[in-house]
Amino acid sequence: MDHIDLSALNFSEEASALLDLWGSLPRQKGYYCPEKSSFSPVSLGKNLKFIFMLEREDHETLLVRVSGSDIRENLGQEITGKNLFDLLPTEYLFSFKEYYTSLQHYPCAGKVIRPVARPTGGRQLLRTLHLPLLDHNGHARFFVGVMNVERLPMPFDELNNGVLAPRPALEMIHVDLGAGLPGLRAVEPNCA
């Protein structure tokens, strides 16, 4: 994995640890991603509390299989076993379904940065890293990631409490793992 630059996905010590672990996992010949069976969240040690694992069952269902204690604390609820799409505001669903579909089908890695409501009031900035893992059939059906939360600066907090229209994300990026990116077509040499 040293030929692929994943630095655009790194936003914390925990993200760095996950990127290093994911990058070191074995891959089947011809595949860009490791299999889920080769990944153990426990190997992240002290960073386990920031880790989540998702499973895409179908277009409408993205199950939270693992949710670290720091994630539960910051979101103010237990999300393990829940459909992530049921937890998102309706106006965000289309963007996030498309995001996870592209992570799954290419497959590629991604990062989302967006404001969310704090359980105690106000808003916070949520950063999530998503790395695909393959099922036993070679399909990217699982995603392992890290979540990081920080309080938003007051002026931004005030502007996003109804004055501006809600935004699904401040930033939603994809990183090519070798299979291409959504919306980008390969250009043949010598073609105009």
CATH of the domain at 107: 3.30.450.20
Inter-residue contact 152 to 87 (CB < 8 Å): no
**Quick check: 9 and 19 in contact, CB under 8 A?**
yes
Burial string for 110-125 (b: 16+ CB within 10 Å, else e) reads: bbbebbbebeeeebbb
Q: What pLDDT was estimated at residue 83?
A: 97
The answer to whether residue 183 is domain-embedded is no
Residue 54 is predicted with a pLDDT of 98
Q: Percentage of residues in the chain with pLDDT exceeding 70?
A: 84
What is the mean pLDDT of the segment spanning 154-176? 60
Confidence grade of residue 127 (pLDDT, cut at 50, 70, 90) = very high
Is 172 a domain residue? yes
Query: Would 164 be classed as within a structural domain?
Result: yes
pTM of the model: 0.85
**Which pLDDT value is given to residue 165?**
43
Segment 30-51 mean pLDDT: 93
Q: Which domain holds residue 156?
A: 48-176
pLDDT at 168 exceeding the cut of 70: no
Residue 54 falls inside a structural domain = yes
Residue 57 included in any domain: yes
Q: Determine, yes or no, domain membership for 17.
A: no
- The 8-class DSSP code of residue 3 comes to T
pLDDT for 185 equals 39
Higher pLDDT, 169 or 6: 6
Report residue 169's pLDDT band, with 50, 70 and 90 as the boundaries: low
- Residue 34 counted as domain residue: no
Residue 90 domain flag: yes
Alpha-carbon distance of 21 to 107, in angstroms, equals 18
Above 50 in pLDDT, residue 191? no
User: What are the phi and psi torsion angles at 90 (to 5°)?
Assistant: -50, -40
In whole angstroms, give the CA distance from residue 117 to residue 119: 6
Q: Note whether 54 and 33 are within 8 A (CB).
A: no
Our measurement of the distance from residue 154's CA atom to the centroid of its chain's CA atoms, rounded to an integer in Å, reads: 26
Q: CB-based burial of residue 12 (10 Å sphere; 0-12 exposed, 13-18 middle, 19+ buried)?
A: middle
Smallest CA-to-CA distance from 73 within 138, 135, 124 is with: 124
Which pLDDT band, with edges at 50, 70 and 90, does 3 fall under?
A: low
Count structural domains, the chain: 1
Say whether pLDDT at 69 is over 60. yes
Average pLDDT, the chain: 84
Please check whether residue 24 is in contact with residue 1, taking contact to mean a CB–CB distance below 8 angstroms.
yes
